[in-house]
Amino acid sequence: MTWPDGRVERFGTGEAPEEAIHITDDSAVKALATRPVLALGECYMDGTLVVPDDQLYDVLAMLVRNQRMGGMPAWFNAYQSTRMAARRFVQRNDALRARKNVAHHYDISDDLYRLFLDEDMQYSCAYFARPEMTLEQAQEAKKAHIARKLRIEPGMRVLDIGCGWGGMAMTLARDFGAQVTGVTLSQNQHATATKRAEAAGLSDRVKFELRDYRKVQDNFDRIVSVGMLEHVGLPHYGDYFDKVCDLLDPDGVALIHTIGNVEAPSPTNPWLEKYIFPGGYVPSMTDLMPAVERSGLYTQDIEILRGHYGPTLHHWHLRFEENIDKVRAMYDERFVRMFRFYLVACEMAFEEQWQAVFQFQLGRKQYAVPKTRDYLYGPAEQPAMRAAE
């Protein structure tokens, strides 16, 4: 079912769990008392913290709500402050470290991701223009929304920074007639994207390169980057936006889509940093805007997408659980619990914490895009097939 405000009903309610939580080892008690955020996920992975699968969301939501009420011990607040101060050092993602961090998450197995992503393998926030949309429909809507903001015309040269498995690049080439270059640091994604383009007969319009965005040369009419900025690292935002400006044509448009923190900056969750996204960081506006302002880019529009990533993650979680036997045939039980914890914890973060998605529309000139958003939402003919007509 769907809530009146459009939220998808999830495994739990966010209320106190109905069944008991069991701790099966005394070492877990000590770990949870001394390093609660990291140990919570580790103990769940190890099985020393037993939570009914359908109430994991409830447990995490309850803990987060209690934490936000305040009253955390002084040592915990001091620990958080230390981690905040160390962000720039920890997130130094030079080319070698960036490639290693990407491989940690994206090069484990395409077969795993196929079990819970949509058919196009979009591994970023979908766009639920209508609450009843399927995951496939919402991911198509996300790509269409981004494409409208890019104002792409046939023959335009487009750079896709962090192209994933190639879905966005192929859409822009197939449906808009663009010439697209996608870059990624993931060997698996590069190989899969290349095969997908060949199978779709798009190799003459799309090419994928195993390359760091900092090594890209040339100029492009359009630049798109979806779900990659989270991996750049706080010390490198200046490099990132400077590079976007350098690569973008004077009349060009860039669309940067990233998870964002809508409150003051905070350090990355230590469990996510260790097990899921090493080097990852969710930026606040105060982290990003100084770099944008110094880059020479004109901020044409900023849109905050709220209430979209929680349902996206819920769909992924549902599909993960539906295919749990296949996952268990591929990985051990500790990995299964790790990935379940990751999906549920991230869904909880978007529903219970101050996280959303930022879409920055950037250019080098003020009037590179229309002055109003009417072109995005008007009853215009579907632009996504005009190149094929």
- What DSSP element (H or E) covers 322? helix 309-322
Query: Is residue 346 flagged as an active site residue?
Result: yes
CB 213 within 8 A of CB 254: no
Cα separation, 210 vs 36, whole angstroms: 38
Give the largest Cα separation in the chain, rounded. 67
Cα separation, 375 vs 368, whole angstroms: 13
β partners of residue 215: none
In terms of C-beta density within 10 A (0-12 exposed, 13-18 middle, 19 or more buried), how is residue 1 classed? exposed
Q: Given 43, 125, 245, 346, which residue is catalytic?
A: 346
Residue 247: closest CA among 204, 183, 186, 189: 183
β partners of residue 180: 158, 206
Please say whether the dihedral angle defined by the alpha carbons of residues 152, 153, 159 and 163, taken in this order, is positive or negative: positive
Tokens found for residue 69: 């009420």
Active site residues: 346
